Homo-oligomer: A and B are copies of this chain.
Amino acid sequence: MPDLNIQLNGSIGNFDLSVDLQLPSSGVTAIFGPSGCGKTSLLRCVAGLEKISNARITLNGEIWQSSEKFVRPHKRSIGFVFQNSNLFAHLTVRENLGFGKKRCGNIQTGPSLDEITVLFGLEKLLERAVGRLSGGEKQRVALGRALLSNPEILLLDEPLSALDQASKNEIIPYLERMHRFIDIPILHVTHDITEVERFADRLVLMDGGRVVTYGPVIDMLTNSDLPFSQSQGAASILEGIIVDIDLDQGLSRISVDGGTFLVTGQPGNIGDAVRLRISAADISLGHEWDVSKISILNGLATRIIGAVEDDTQMQVTLALGKDGSGAKLLSRITRHSWERLGLAVDGEIFALIKSVALADPSGKSL
């Protein structure tokens, strides 16, 4: 049963917004689209900050907006991170963080102020006036403030855009853990496809105020009708389970539908479900694979199930397993290689992938 329902039909100023989304009440939904396509507007409607006439919004059966009803923003249990931070200028960092915490009742389930302070590296800033923070510091305080307010849904409007990679690498896994433990839905606006790949369960693709399409990230990224698979940054996401860990070599074996991958690092414990992101440009194709001659540790038997010519490159869709029944992979090779290797749809081929290319950039999880 879809638990977060968003139906919007109307306009803000003279910007038309037309959205119809049914989302589960947990997991991360990335909202993706060009500048000015209505991502912020969508979040504002969900938060009740914008009141579109013809709208229906429900969360877990509770009606937030319908033709008869409009729950005002402060009655909605949301955590909102504004695109521009929007901190309270008259309060210190500590008071900003505490503002929501104080008002969310006695529930002690959420994170504590200390926890957030440490996570976001705000220890030295707590007594600072927010006017004297750097851009990234503001963004961290804003995110911390939202997390502390113990929300039933998190609405994040590019919360990490002003942060360096190291900070992101600290924060994303935390958000990931949090949403898995507290099990609340997160709508996450971002322009960073790698954030989507690492962190999102579902993807909503918007353009010009409408939802172009939405669905599980894995399907969306490999769907050849969508721009993702066409782009140079195209990648596939595979879900697998850790079946073996070689601590000495620093390699883990992950079993996916139709094959096994060797990856560097230890993404979890044996039995854990993990996600593999494989960039299409990282997959080479070869008729043979000899692990003693080349540093490529993964050579998986696959069947070519599709190929799209894109200018001078081929976007090849592969299915793991000789019979092509396994998980799908995207590979991107030159037309030159496609021809020279004599490849064709339905042919069998090895997909060659370096273990190192499979490591998560954060070095923490996949």
- Show the binding face of A for B, using Cβ within 8 Å: 13, 32-36, 39-40, 83-84, 121, 132-137, 139-140, 157-158, 161-167, 191, 193, 231-233, 246, 249-251, 262, 264-265, 280-282, 284-288, 291-297, 311-313, 331-338, 340-341, 352, 354-357, 359-361, 363
Contacts and interface: CB of A to CB of B under 8 A. Distances in A.
B294 A352 contact: yes
A233 to B, nearest CB: 5
A264 B232 CA distance: 11
Contacts of A84: 84, 135
A105 to B, nearest CB: 32
Given A36-B136, A294-B284, A312-B249, A332 B356 contact: yes
Contacts of A33: 164
Nearest to A32: B164
A297 B336 contact: yes
A167 B313 contact: no
A292 B340 contact: yes
A335 B286 contact: no
B232 A34 contact: no
Contact of A191 (B140, B162, B285, B295): B162
A190 to B, nearest CB: 9
Nearest to A362: B232
A135 B83 contact: yes
Q: Which 5 A-B pairs have the closest CB atoms?
A: A250-B312, A35-B136, A286-B294, A295-B337, A285-B295
A352 B161 CA distance: 34
Given A251-B334, A337-B295, A356-B334, A165 B193 contact: yes
B137 A35 contact: yes
Contacts of A291: 340
A355 B338 CA distance: 12
Contacts of A246: 336
Given A233-B361, A312-B264, A284 B295 contact: yes
A35 B167 contact: yes
A162 B40 CA distance: 12
A74 to B, nearest CB: 23
Given A232-B363, A360-B232, A166 B284 contact: no
Contacts of A331: 295
A135 B341 contact: no
B132 A158 contact: no
